[in-house]
Amino acid sequence: MARSQALLFLSLIAFVLLGSSSAIPRKTVGIYELKKGNFSVKITNWGATILSVILPDSEGNIMQYRTSPGNLADVVLGYEGIRPYIVRFTSLNALIHYFCLFLSFFLLWSRVQKVKANYNFVNVQNGTTYFGALVGRVGNRISGARFVLNGTAYRLYRNDGTSSIHGGHRGFSFVIWTVKEVVDGEFPYIKLYYYSFNKEQGFPGDLDVYVTYKISGAYELSVTMEATPRTKATPVNLLQHSYWNLGGHSSGTILSNTVQIFASYITPLNDQLIPTGAISSVSGTPYDFRNPNTIESRINYVKGGYNMNYVVDGHGMRKVAVVEDHRSGRGMELWANQPAVQFYTAYYLNDVEGKGGAIYGRYAGLCLETQGFPDAVNHPQFPSQIVNPGEVYKHDMLFKFSF
């Protein structure tokens, strides 16, 4: 037995040394612009990420990096250019990564000890900000980085303490998507594709994933996410993780913004930010945004700011939230077809250097991520996120801007 284990170990090393560099696909990362009049959206196929959303203010001005809130037009947080989003992984990086993975599998199989491959060869967006990215295969947290599906236990990559978050250390945010279509015209759009292989970050089955960003009307941006399993049932929960500041990305905090969320319930969290399994009313709590309220009017009653899953009222495609920035006169409506939305006020941003030399601190932006319930795979009372082969997961979002 010991000899066979040693031979297996040596063969794995040989595989890595001889095959790792040729196994790394070389793809091109680009920046693509959708434009309709004075409304434009820039997107990269690295992580299917929204880089900028340029809007006029209430006076029709378009000024990307000016400091006056009335003139700012880039309303999403992000980095300057494409380079900060990416750390190129070399063959040596990949060698170390795969070596650690194979060593982990070997030691687990031989029951000597458990080892976790901790070497990340992709920069996790400068401290897991996920600026503008599409996250998956399962966005938000999965407790214990494990779940059981059809009698089989699956263990995932732990990248948030003992849990998995946003698909693991190399989820859909940190891969190069294939550009399938870029179409100009009255309603310009870009369609991106990613093939997620069986056991990627621990998830079962091969998965075909598409996202389409489209300027679908006057100052309207639609996001359509689709996924189809090829071989096995798998959980799917894709999120769009843009940070919004309607006053402009460098205009300061979003605390004075007025927010309305059409949700009567939340899923309370434990101290690890994992849902307890309960569903609680927002009535009489600081989480009640059923009527418009400023964020600053109640955020001090919530430890660490808002980072909560709201159960959206109704079903199908409906209005989820409204945000208004009175400094610039800009507003945003969010519509979606998902059961829930994560409201996050960027408490953990800590002097991140962004576009135009801007420094993003706490509360510099807000996220409204429509989604399935977090950790649904471990809470059978939550709406299921399991998609079977031949079924199509579809997540529709629509942002309507006004000024």
The answer to whether 369 is a known catalytic residue is: yes
Sign, CA torsion 250/251/252/258: negative
91 in a known ligand binding site: no
Total residues found in the chain within this entry: 403
Backbone φ and ψ of 86, nearest 5°:
-130, 140
Strand-strand pairing, 220-229 and 359-360: unpaired
In angstroms, rounded to a whole number, what is the distance separating the alpha carbons of residues 57 and 380?
46
393 in a known ligand binding site: no
250 in a known ligand binding site: no
140 in a known ligand binding site: yes
Give the CA distances from residue 18 to residues 13, 15, 22, 229, 264, in Å, rounded to whole numbers and listed in that order: 9, 5, 8, 31, 57
22, two tokens: 């040729």
166 in a known ligand binding site: no
Query: Which positions ≥6 away from 12 have C-beta within 8 Å?
Result: 102, 105, 106
Backbone φ and ψ of 370, nearest 5°:
-70, 145
In angstroms, rounded to a whole number, what is the distance separating the alpha carbons of residues 214 and 189?
4
Which one from 200, 226, 324, 369 is the annotated catalytic residue? 369
Which one from 166, 169, 241, 379 is the annotated catalytic residue? 241
Catalytic residues: 241, 369
Binding positions for beta-D-galactose are 140-141, 241-243
Binding-site annotation: residue ranges: 140-141, 241-243
